[in-house]
């Protein structure tokens, strides 16, 4: 029973965990200034965002009730040995009974809609802190779930602090959680953790200097344009230092509990080169650059040496049609100069060969860079480079009828295929050599789109039109796409050039997933019906956009969610 209790209790906490009132000591005051990783908030989320999330949660409440009802019905038909969690599921279902608003559930569990939170490491050990609005209601909710399950969580104390623990049978680790400082604090701990470890994890022993005192997140937010509602980082240098001294601090107790004896760094060369690498690639940072009722934009940045980024940016190529991607039903593109890869690989390979890593644990890097230089001499790389440097697929229509996946029926598709190229007419000539039906086909540069010949062996009858510019070749799929094809061939060489970009509207995601779930339901009639949930997600997503970039700061991944305009 205790094994089944862990995910269910934690899921209940996650479902309710939306808040707390401002406390004199916010969660970041408990985070050590030298934490190796953190994700936290300096300010609570705006009320407008909380209200939007609340409305979203309210639409999902009936779906969650139906899912629990289905799970309970399924377990009722199984042998008792397989239904240990049935009582607890009924308890969770009872928590939702009669509630028409998520705020009722949040209030019943002692949380609020606008919390301050922090997820961080004490050494390498993960800890979560969430502000509580009412500590008594939270404790009462835990008691209700225990009563529903017919089993009580283990309780103990460290000093004057009472805490709960959940430990699977014979597991070396346990989950501990408590109410401390007006906050829920949860962490992993060794099964036989001593009081000194628990005092640090549960916040009774605060760090001599906290992340809040150091102002680290505030400075990070200012430098990278993050808002104060959620940001963080992974400190590579700090993690390296902890890993070379693995049996010290809190992680030492963990590794002993797990009976793991990690290999120690065996030479001064490994220490020196490991620290040098960590200094050159110091941190992965992440946070929101926009966070409001209209949507959010998130940025993740792997900080890298400027010389490496200069090299990587040399392979970027402009992508045709990026301006049209923002209005497409869905699109995806990939762009780089293939013929720039061999000289770059040779440069890196020669640099490593002239100054190889001495550390025995980095010998694989010496081998990888040596092989990289040889691999890039492949004739195929040189063949692709002069022909194409970007591929961009845009969909304006994608209709997948119900049952199409099982029957093998192809979807109805309209859109564009754009190929960025230093020599578009060379691509046309190449196509004429390989496709007999195109032997007499010609595309004039910057001319109006023309119809492509019918291909007799094509799996589906499509209306195709072609056009070319000095930098791209395009194929329109469907008559409706013909008139906009020439404009879509435009490239913007002045703006950021993504290596990878993707976009999709909520209608595309929801429609596609509903068809997939319909097929799943046919294959497994007892599976919960998830189609309504994907309809809700479709209604809540206007569009999602993402890019992978090589910037002056490092390797970046951005994603943006736009909410529907009401």
Question: How do residues 456-515 score in pLDDT, each as one tens digit?
Answer: 666 567 889 999 999 999 999 999 999 999 999 999 877 789 999 999 998 888 877 777
More confident residue, 548 or 242: 548
Tell me how far apart the alpha carbons of residues 153 and 4 are, in angstroms, rounded to a whole number. 12
Is the Cα dihedral 223, 226, 231, 233 positive or negative?
A: negative
Q: Where are the beta strands (DSSP E) in 28-76?
A: 37-40
Which pLDDT score is estimated for 477? 94
pLDDT at 540: 85
Share of the chain above pLDDT 90, in %: 49
What is the per-residue pLDDT for 447? Answer: 94
- Stronger pLDDT, 10 or 566, i.e. the higher one: 566
* pLDDT score for 258: 74
Which residues, in sequence order, are bridge partners of residue 231? 40, 287
Beta strand pairing call for 464-468 and 183-190: unpaired
Task: Report how far residue 298's alpha carbon sits from residue 220's, in angstroms, rounded to the nearest whole number.
Answer: 14
Q: What does 297-344 look like in DSSP terms, one character per residue?
A: EEEEEEE--HHHHHHHHTT----TTHHHHTTSSEEEEEE--GGGHHHH
Residue 566 pLDDT: 64
Query: What is the band of 22 on the pLDDT scale with cuts at 50, 70, 90?
Result: very low
Residue 435: CB atoms within 10 A of its CB come to 14
Cα distances from 346 to residues 295, 343, 350, 370, 425, in angstroms, run: 44, 5, 6, 9, 30
Specify the pLDDT at position 84: 62
Q: Report pLDDT digits (tens) over 387-409.
A: 889 999 999 998 877 666 666 67
pLDDT band at 148 (very low <50, low <70, confident <90, very high): confident
* Res. 446 pLDDT band, cuts 50 70 90: very high
Per-residue model confidence as pLDDT tens digits over 206-255: 999 999 999 999 999 999 999 999 999 999 999 888 888 766 667 777 77
- 464-468 and 472-477 beta bridge pairing: antiparallel
The residue extents of the domains of the chain are 2-216, 305-337+387-547, 339-384
Q: What is the pLDDT of residues 323-357, one digit of tens each?
A: 999 899 999 999 999 888 888 988 999 999 999 99
Residue whose entry in the numeric block shows the structure tokens 């995806």 = 332
Alpha-carbon distance of 399 to 515, in angstroms, equals 10
Most confident segment among 375-389, 435-449, 455-469: 435-449
The whole-chain average pLDDT of the chain stands at 85
CA distances (Å), origin 404, targets 156, 408, 410, 529:
57, 6, 7, 18
Q: How far apart are CA 329 and CA 506, in angstroms?
A: 8
> Tokens at residue 284, please?
């992965």
- In order, the DSSP letters of 176-198 are EEEEETTEEEEEEEETT--HHHH
The tokens for 511 are 């429609």
């Amino acid at each position: 029973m205790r094994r089944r209790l862990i995910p269910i209790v934690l899921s209940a906490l996650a479902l309710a965990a939306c808040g707390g009132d401002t406390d004199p000591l916010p969660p970041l005051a408990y985070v050590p200034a030298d934490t190796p990783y953190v994700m936290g908030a300096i300010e609570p989320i705006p009320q407008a965002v909380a209200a939007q999330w609340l409305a979203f949660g309210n639409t999902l409440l009936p779906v969650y009730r139906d899912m629990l009802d289905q799970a309970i019905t399924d377990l009722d038909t199984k042998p008792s040995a397989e239904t240990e969690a049935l009582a607890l599921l009924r308890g969770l279902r009872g928590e939702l009974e009669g509630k028409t608003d998520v705020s009722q559930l949040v209030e019943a569990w002692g949380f609020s809609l606008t919390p301050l939170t922090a997820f961080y490491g004490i050494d390498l050990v993960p800890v979560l802190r969430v502000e509580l609005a009412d500590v008594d209601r939270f404790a009462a909710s835990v008691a209700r779930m225990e009563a529903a399950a017919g089993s009580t969580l283990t309780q103990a104390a460290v000093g004057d602090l009472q805490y709960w623990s959940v430990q699977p049978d014979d597991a070396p680790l346990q989950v501990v959680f408590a109410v401390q400082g007006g906050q829920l604090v949860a962490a992993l701990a060794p099964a036989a953790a001593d009081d000194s470890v628990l005092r640090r994890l549960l916040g009774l022993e605060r760090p001599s200097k906290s992340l809040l005192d150091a102002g680290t997140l505030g400075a990070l937010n200012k430098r990278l344009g993050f808002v104060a509602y959620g940001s963080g980082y992974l400190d590579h240098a700090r993690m390296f230092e902890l890993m070379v001294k693995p049996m010290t601090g809190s992680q030492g107790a963990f590794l002993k509990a797990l009976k793991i004896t990690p290999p120690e760094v065996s030479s001064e060369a490994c220490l020196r080169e490991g620290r040098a690498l960590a200094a050159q690639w110091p941190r992965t940072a992440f946070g929101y650059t926009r966070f409001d009722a209209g949507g959010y934009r998130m940025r993740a940045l792997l900080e890298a040496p400027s010389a490496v980024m200069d090299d990587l940016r040399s392979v970027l190529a402009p992508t045709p049609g990026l301006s049209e991607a923002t209005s497409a039903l869905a699109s995806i593109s990939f762009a780089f100069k293939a013929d720039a890869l061999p000289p770059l690989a040779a440069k890196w390979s020669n640099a490593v060969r002239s100054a190889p890593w001495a550390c025995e644990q980095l010998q694989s890097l010496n081998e990888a860079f040596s092989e990289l230089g040889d691999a890039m001499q492949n004739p195929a790389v040189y063949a692709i480079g002069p022909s194409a440097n970007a591929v961009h697929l845009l969909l304006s229509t994608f209709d997948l009828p119900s049952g199409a996946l099982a029957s093998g029926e192809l979807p109805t598709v309209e859109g564009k295929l754009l190929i960025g190229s230093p020599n578009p007419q060379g691509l046309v000539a190449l196509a004429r050599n390989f496709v007999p039906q195109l032997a007499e086909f010609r595309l004039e540069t910057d001319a109006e789109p023309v119809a492509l010949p019918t291909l007799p062996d094509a799996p589906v009858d499509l209306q195709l039109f072609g056009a070319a510019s000095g930098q791209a070749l395009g194929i329109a799929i469907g008559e409706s796409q013909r008139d906009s094809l020439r404009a879509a061939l435009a490239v913007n060489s002045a703006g950021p050039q993504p290596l990878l970009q993707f976009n999709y509207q909520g209608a595309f995601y929801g429609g596609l997933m509903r068809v997939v779930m319909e097929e799943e339901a046919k294959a497994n009639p007892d599976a919960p019906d998830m189609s309504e949930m994907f309809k809700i997600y479709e209604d809540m997503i206007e569009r999602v956009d993402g890019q992978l970039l090589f910037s002056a700061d490092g390797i970046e991944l951005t994603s943006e969610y736009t909410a529907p305009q009401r």
